[in-house]
């Protein structure tokens, strides 16, 4: 069969697809940009993969060359005029796609769009903020309507199954529609183009970390979650063949560290085949991966899951612990979390050199400042967690919580930049604003005290865990919230600032003010972090020199027993804890007894 004729290079037109994941504004009004950022944007990887597929299929015709640029503003200063000049030089055809825009990034995204709109370039914006608002609210919110009035097109939902083709074709013809709404049509992702970023983009993250998903959707009904209302409650999965392509194509670029963005990998019905694929690639091709995955608190009850995960390369697990008070968990719809499972689950992971990171929500309805201080001490003493990141209960647009509060007319902070779970944006029924803010800061200080960080390093040595990762994470999680007031996952190495790129509502600083302040600030922050790292190394060296280090035990890393229900504060210090123990006893009594042969 004869191939269709290609246009001669001189006859080809150029169409630029510029994919940008915007950052958020920091407290001084500057885009939060780092020389090296922590986590990659999986939305950017997914759209980049779809863009490559559009380019390979010539969706704009054989005479049009699609040139793809992916920019994560978290680790790159953006110069809109340079992008505009590049597009004009090559004929003026393009689409500026602002992808994966979360609520705290929305104000920056709209500001970033302004020079492109002024130059007459088409701009389309998608992500959880616009998709979540349209999914959950009966009306268009003012900030979204204002963006549309300025000429920004909106993309709602997911872009697989040829949906990106449609947007590109409309942009090429100069007929971009105001809204592309696919919220009610969840695409199949098995066999879809794989998420992938170029080496040039990945190396801007710490440790050259990329990301991918192998599943979307969640069957649970957590009231604070936006995922279930954007990706839906129906789970959809990539195949083992898809995963092999992801790993092999990234390995060709030297990329072997990944953050797997599935909300709960343990609920992926194909988990065994996926892990077997990774194990085979390790054995046959020598591809040794390092994977960070998210799982639930009952993953240890799936036979073989944890052992196979560790064999496949999982060395960091993120667990949505959320709270240790069952009354709080019940109010959020997170009934699947049973505190009676926590210790057994954590120690099941600790049979392997896996680092455990837990998420914990502060500000649930039954919290008080006193109860939070009690809870953090229980966690420190009784749970084998290496790192924990605390978050403010935040009604993120797209969640059931946000829809309820929005429609009730209750106060919510009008500045979306603060909706990153690091700030209080609502009032609490039991705490004053000052108590809630103070409790949040104090939880960070207490958990990442030098005393407790030393204890966690002792546990890591005793269990023969990943000492380097534990030590590095501890220093990182101590530095950013305590010294800089930033969430650790929003941190990075060396903040980059441009004097002329500040939030429009704030004045531009004079050069003689801006540059000395900026340089002194970065020098101070780097020195502070270096001192933390040095102190952590000294503590670690002392522990490593102790010949009895492997014999160390405390309550958290002692195997669980029935006596725990009588002795540990996790179970006896709250009404909900005592009730959870009673329910666990009822389940055990009702479970069918095994027949003895």
**Residue 146, token pair as written in the block:** 């204002």
For residues 519 and 284, what is the distance between their CA atoms, to the nearest angstrom? 50
Q: Tell me the pLDDT tens digit for each residue of 491-508.
A: 999 999 999 999 999 999
Q: Which pLDDT score, from 0 to 100, does residue 41 have?
A: 94
Q: Which pLDDT score, from 0 to 100, does residue 3 have?
A: 38
Q: Tell me the pLDDT tens digit for each residue of 341-351.
A: 899 999 999 99
Beta bridge partners of 361: 391
CA 439 to chain centre: 24
Structure pTM? 0.93
Q: Which pLDDT score, from 0 to 100, does residue 334 have?
A: 66
Q: Which pLDDT score, from 0 to 100, does residue 479 have?
A: 97
- Produce one character per residue of 33-72: b if its CB has 16 or more CB atoms within 10 Å, e if not: bbebbbbbbbbbbbbbbbbbbbbeeebbeeebbbebbbbb
Low-confidence stretches of the chain (pLDDT beneath 70):
1-10, 334-336, 591-597
| Helices then strands, each counted (H, E), the chain | 22, 16
Q: Which pLDDT score, from 0 to 100, does residue 321 have?
A: 85
Q: In 3D, which of 426, 436, 438, 421 has the Cα closest to residue 488?
A: 421
- Helical ranges in 315-365 per DSSP H: 326-331, 339-349
Give the H/E segment covering residue 56: helix 42-57
For the chain, give the number of residues.
597
Beta strands at 355-362 and 387-392: parallel, antiparallel or unpaired: parallel
Q: Tell me the pLDDT tens digit for each residue of 27-46.
A: 999 999 999 999 889 999 99
For residues 122 and 485, what is the distance between their CA atoms, to the nearest angstrom? 37
Q: Which pLDDT score, from 0 to 100, does residue 567 have?
A: 82
Query: Do residues 312 and 280 lie in contact, with contact meaning Cβ atoms separated by under 8 Å?
Result: no
For residues 530 and 533, what is the distance between their CA atoms, to the nearest angstrom? 5
Q: Which pLDDT score, from 0 to 100, does residue 416 have?
A: 98
Q: In terms of C-beta distances under 8 Å and separation of at least 24 residues, what long-range contacts does 374-380 make, across chains too? A: 374/569, 374/573, 375/323, 375/324, 375/325, 376/443, 376/446, 376/447, 377/446, 377/569, 378/324, 378/568, 378/569, 378/570, 378/573, 379/324, 379/447, 380/446, 380/447, 380/452, 380/455
Q: Tell me the pLDDT tens digit for each residue of 126-184.
A: 999 999 999 999 999 999 999 999 999 999 999 999 999 999 999 999 999 999 999 99
């Amino acid at each position: 069969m004869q191939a269709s004729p290609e246009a001669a290079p001189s006859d080809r037109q150029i169409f630029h697809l510029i994919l940008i994941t915007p950052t958020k504004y920091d407290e001084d009004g500057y885009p939060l940009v780092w020389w090296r950022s922590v986590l990659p944007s999986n939305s950017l990887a997914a759209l980049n993969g779809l863009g490559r597929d559009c380019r390979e299929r010539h969706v704009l015709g054989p005479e049009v060359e699609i040139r793809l640029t992916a920019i994560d503003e978290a680790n790159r200063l953006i110069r809109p005029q340079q992008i505009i000049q590049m597009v004009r030089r090559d004929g003026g055809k393009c689409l500026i796609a602002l992808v994966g825009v979360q609520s705290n990034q929305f104000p920056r995204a709209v500001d970033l769009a302004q020079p492109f709109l002024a130059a007459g370039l088409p701009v389309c914006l998608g992500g959880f903020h616009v998709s979540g608002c349209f999914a959950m609210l009966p009306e268009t919110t003012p900030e979204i309507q204002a963006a549309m009035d300025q000429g920004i097109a909106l993309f709602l939902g997911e872009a697989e199954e040829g949906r990106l083709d449609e947007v590109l074709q409309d942009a090429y013809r100069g007929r971009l529609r105001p809204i592309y709404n696919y919220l009610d049509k969840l695409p199949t992702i098995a066999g879809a183009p794989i998420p992938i970023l170029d080496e040039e983009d990945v190396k801007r993250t710490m440790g050259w970390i990329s990301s991918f998903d192998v599943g979307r959707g969640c069957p649970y009904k957590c009231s604070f979650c936006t995922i279930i209302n954007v990706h839906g409650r129906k789970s959809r999965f990539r195949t083992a063949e898809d995963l092999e392509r992801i790993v092999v194509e990234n390995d060709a670029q030297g990329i072997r560290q990944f953050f797997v963005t599935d909300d709960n990998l343990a609920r992926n019905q194909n988990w065994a085949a996926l892990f077997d694929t990774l194990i085979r690639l390790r054995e046959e091709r020598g591809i040794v991966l390092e994977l960070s995955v998210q799982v639930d608190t009952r993953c240890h009850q799936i036979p073989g899951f944890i052992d196979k995960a560790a064999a496949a390369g999982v060395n960091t697990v993120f667990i949505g612990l959320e709270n240790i008070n069952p009354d709080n968990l019940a109010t959020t719809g997170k009934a699947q979390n049973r505190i009676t499972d926590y210790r057994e689950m954590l120690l099941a992971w600790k049979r392997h050199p896996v680092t455990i990171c837990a998420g914990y929500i502060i500000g649930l309805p039954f919290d008080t400042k006193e109860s939070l201080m009690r809870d953090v001490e229980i966690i420190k003493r009784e749970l084998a967690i290496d790192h924990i990141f605390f978050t403010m209960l935040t009604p993120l647009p797209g969640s059931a919580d946000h829809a309820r509060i929005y429609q009730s007319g209750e106060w919510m902070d009008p500045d979306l930049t603060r909706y990153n779970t690091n700030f209080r944006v609502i009032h609490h029924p039991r705490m004053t604003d000052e108590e809630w803010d103070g409790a949040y800061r104090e939880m960070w200080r207490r958990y990442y005290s030098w005393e407790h960080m030393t204890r966690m390093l002792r546990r890591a040595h005793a269990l023969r865990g990943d000492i380097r990762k534990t030590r590095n994470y501890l220093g990182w999680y101590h530095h950013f919230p305590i010294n800089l007031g930033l969430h650790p996952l929003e941190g990075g190495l060396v903040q980059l600032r441009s004097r002329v790129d500040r939030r429009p509502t704030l004045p531009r600083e004079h050069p003689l003010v801006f540059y000395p302040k900026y340089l002194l600030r970065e020098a101070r922050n780097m020195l502070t972090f270096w001192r933390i790292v040095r102190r952590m190394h000294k503590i670690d060296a002392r522990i490593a020199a102790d010949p009895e280090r492997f014999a160390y035990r405390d309550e958290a890393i002692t195997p669980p027993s029935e006596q725990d229900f009588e002795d540990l504060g996790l179970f006896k210090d709250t009404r909900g804890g005592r009730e959870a123990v009673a329910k666990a006893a009822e389940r055990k009594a009702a479970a069918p007894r095994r027949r003895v042969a």
